[in-house]
Homo-oligomer: A and B are copies of this chain.
Amino acid sequence: MISKKVDSVSKALEGVKDNMTFMLGGFGLCGIPENSIAELVKRNVKRLTCISNNAGVDDFGLGLLLQKHQIKKMVSSYVGENDEFERQMLSGELEVELIPQGTLAERCRAAQVGLPAVYTPAGFGTEVAEGKETREFDGKMYVLEHAFKADFAFVKAWKGDEAGNLIFKGTARNFNPIMCGAAKVTVVEVEELLPAGELDPNQIHIPGIFVQRIFQGEKFEKRIEQRTVRNKK
């Protein structure tokens, strides 16, 4: 067994530098790498390019990096619910590339599995396809989208083992599995870090080969963005 375990978030983030490109898992605030984000804030690395479906809210998630002006460019599919983001974008401080969510997902996966590019119908005929190669297959039009290139992927999983094997929970899975191995270094924070052999090999969502470093997160706030409930009968 090849151990991927590191003892602290600080060790897990060794090597992060200004001007790097990061991938960050999560959908809204669900399944985001909270501990790694906190450490990035602490380290105050600057001029980052962040690939993440959303940009957090003003005071949580990637919003924390935005508040400190650490992000130069965001690559996302949806960036609402964040006033500071909107301010920085409209003022031109922040560069933003908006891409379809499925394209974001497939460009992550392409990087993970060594495919250079994919043809997707999403965005054909829209400004998303401007300047990109388009092509017809079987009478339908597709846009060529390239695999992402990133320095670090920050991932949040539910359970993990020392070998780096991961299990995600519910919709906190989202982009996390497909970012594993899609960057030069994949750093995973888990709620529960187990010895190798404790996870059923059949139930592993992502094998440890896609992970370079895994650590037990100190604290998971798991903030809820839209608390919707129904009344008990």
Contacts of A138 in B (CB 8 A): 116
Q: Scoring A residues 119 to 154 as 1 if CB is less than 8 Å from chain B, else 0, what string do you get?
A: 111000000000000000110101000100000000
The reply to whether the CB of A203 lies closer than 8 angstroms to some CB of chain B is: yes
Contacts of A201 in B (CB 8 A): 170
Interface set, chain A 165-181, CB cutoff 8 A to B = 167-170
The reply to whether the CB of A118 lies closer than 8 angstroms to some CB of chain B is: yes
Query: Contacting A116 at CB < 8 Å: which of B114, B116, B140, B203?
Result: B140
CA distance A117 to B203 in the complex (A): 30
**Residues of chain A at interface, number, CB under 8 A:** 21
CA distance A10 to B29 in the complex (A): 48
Residue on B with the closest CB to A135?
A: B116
Instruction: Please give the count of copies of this chain that the complex contains.
Output: 2
Contacts of A118 in B (CB 8 A): 115, 118
Instruction: Decide if B117 touches A119 in the complex (CB within 8 Å).
Output: yes
The reply to whether the CB of A202 lies closer than 8 angstroms to some CB of chain B is: yes
Query: Contacting A115 at CB < 8 Å: which of B120, B167, B168?
Result: B120
CA distance A116 to B146 in the complex (A): 15
Contacts of A168 in B (CB 8 A): 202
Contacts of A169 in B (CB 8 A): 202
CA distance A119 to B115 in the complex (A): 6
Residue on B with the closest CB to A202?
A: B169
CB-defined A-B contacts under 8 Å, sample of 19: A106-B115, A114-B121, A115-B118, A115-B119, A115-B120, A116-B119, A116-B137, A116-B138, A116-B140, A116-B142, A117-B119, A117-B137, A118-B118, A137-B146, A168-B202, A169-B202, A170-B201, A170-B202, A203-B203
Besides the contacts A116-B137, A117-B137, what 10 more A-B pairs have beta carbons closer than 8 Å?
A114-B121, A115-B118, A116-B140, A118-B118, A137-B146, A167-B202, A168-B202, A169-B202, A170-B201, A170-B202
